[in-house]
Amino acid sequence: MSCEHYEDVITQAVIGEKVPDFTMEAYDPCDCGFCEVNFEEIRKAGKWLVLFFYPADFTFVCPTELADLADKHAALEKLGCEVVSVSTDTKFVHLAWKNDERLLANVKYKMAADPTGEVSDFFGVYDHATGLALRGTFVINPDGVLVSSEVNFYNVGRNAEELLRKIEANVYLKDHPAEACPAKWTPGAKTLTPSEKLVGKVYESLNEE
């Protein structure tokens, strides 16, 4: 992980802080070949980055999660997101799993390899007892700032619909920094504008005509 300029400051990802540049080898299902995930290039392209860590290829809950994510991939791309799945398997295992597991038929995002666990460890999902990554989802905005994190244990799968909703909210707030999105917010719904007038009056604000 390329953190030369940050190594004395950042040792682990922190919400609200910039993430240092890093690279990972990957398998690209669209090209059916190997490539590199380069965070610096993604950031300079002005994209959001979704890192979707999971324990291992050829397991059980993992293909259901990756298939669910694949169903939302096009919608996430329209919002300006680069989607990357990550496990501690190698790029060669990713290729084999993609070809064998029918649930992965629609996966078109890059499948990154973190065999040393370095990137997983930076994001706080590396399990040193097993050498695997927990189920972690991280969203980094175009400025390189970590704005969202979710970590589940091995036995609970995630919901890509909720990930999409959170990305929609974060994209909206990037352009409307004075506002805040309440629970279950979806595009077009009312937002909140924090001020002294809103204290104790959230109900009225959300329900006014």
- The residues carrying an active-site annotation are 62
DSSP state of 177: T
Query: Tokens 């084999």 identify what position?
Result: 96
Measure the CA–CA gap between 2 and 39, rounded to whole angstroms. Answer: 10
Inter-residue contact 141 to 57 (CB < 8 Å): no
Q: Which two tokens stand for residue 95?
A: 């290729």
Residue 134, amino acid: L
Classify residue 200 as left (phi > 0), alpha (psi -120 to 50) or beta: left
